[in-house]
Amino acid sequence: MTATTAGTVARRAPSFRLDRRYLPVAGTFVVLALMLVIGGTRHENFLTPTVFSNLFINNAHLIALAVGMTFVILTGGIDLSVGSVLALSTVIIASLLQAGLPTGVVLVVAVLAGALIGLAHGVMIQGFGVQPFVATLAGMFFARGLCFVIAPESISIGDASFKAIAGWDSWIGYFRVTMAVVIALVVAGIAFVVLHYTRFGRTVYAVGGGEQSALLMGLPVARTKVLVYVVSGTCAALGGVLFAMFSSSGYALSGVAMELDAIAAVVIGGTLLTGGTGFVLGSVLGVLTLGAIQTIIQFEGNLSSWWTKIVIGVLLLVFVVLQRVLTLRKT
């Protein structure tokens, strides 16, 4: 090789290569874009600011749930109680507002209730060695049963202060933004900062990547495993606040099977079920993908709503297989 040729090779710009960690998130983005293209191709009014705004408005509560679930799954755990905690939060809000308590106090009590349930999960899992599936399953039954004890029937929310907060909206260009959407995006933004720019966030990834290795590095593994369930419970309760804003009621049967939607959104968003790899942005994209699927089914009109579950099931299987392939390639 001549000196001139060597100099040319040295000056050649390096080829772009996407980091393997971001492949699942990139895949989620591609699937979301594909769903939007399919909807826009089949329906003239699909690709409009109103439809795009509604993806966030209708799924704000699910974004909050998925954010909390991301923390748990990143450590290799699972939380089956989030749907029931969401329902409990709506019931607490509706019943306490009906009793005449101030709105601020009611919202704090509802969120604290979710945090306490999450703390109980964390203590059972870390302190007593209970499997996350069993501990959170018990929490799911407990929260759902408590809903029916507090309010067997649906309670309408008529409090003026709460309705004023829930009814606030604004326009960013052609896009409508509600208070629930603002809160959901703030929660996602805080989670992003915590996971990527704090010691707690780095420990979450370390625990999911290898608990024994994290212990050998002197990281606070026990505290972190408890705190991720507190985060999940808090986010589930916040999801209940957002759902109460959306539905203007508290109902014991709210959020049935919503924990499965949250898990599906997180997995489709690229978070490994074995822990250690995943991003909050991916979970948000996962929620929007589920919302886009549901919106397409609604636009079709003549399709059963169960097609939403079928498509989500297929997507979930595809992303789990993709995760498995990427995991094997790492080894």
233-264 pLDDT, tens digit per residue, is 999 999 999 999 999 999 999 999 999 999 99
When pLDDT is cut at 50, 70 and 90, the band that residue 96 belongs to is very high
Read off the tokens for 245. 């804003």
What sections of 2-131 are H helices per DSSP?
A: 3-11, 23-42, 49-57, 60-74, 82-98, 103-127
**Considering the chain, what percentage of its residues have pLDDT values greater than 70?**
90
Q: pTM for this structure?
A: 0.91
Q: Tokens 């959407």 belong to which residue?
A: 181
User: Which among 196, 188, 207 has a CA at the least distance from the CA of 74?
Assistant: 207
Question: Phi and psi for 177 in degrees, rounded to 5?
Answer: -125, 125
Average pLDDT, the chain: 89
When pLDDT is cut at 50, 70 and 90, the band that residue 10 belongs to is very low
User: Which among 221, 245, 273 has a CA at the least distance from the CA of 168?
Assistant: 245
Domain coordinates in residue numbering, the chain: 20-330
Rounded CA separation 293/164 (Å): 31
Rounded alpha-carbon distances, angstroms, from residue 130 to 41, 127, 169? 50, 8, 44
Residues 152-177 pLDDT 10s: 899 999 999 999 999 999 999 889 99
Which pLDDT score is estimated for 9?
47
Rounded CA separation 50/221 (Å): 45
283 sits in the region (left: phi over 0; alpha: psi -120 to 50; else beta) called alpha
Collapsed DSSP state (helix, strand, coil) of residue 272: coil
- With b meaning 16 or more CB within 10 Å and e meaning fewer, what string describes 132-145? beebbebbbebbbe
When pLDDT is cut at 50, 70 and 90, the band that residue 319 belongs to is confident
Which amino acid is located at 294 in the chain? Q
Read off the tokens for 121. 């999960």
User: Which among 76, 104, 116 has a CA at the least distance from the CA of 233?
Assistant: 116
Which pLDDT score is estimated for 264?
92
Which pLDDT score is estimated for 14?
52
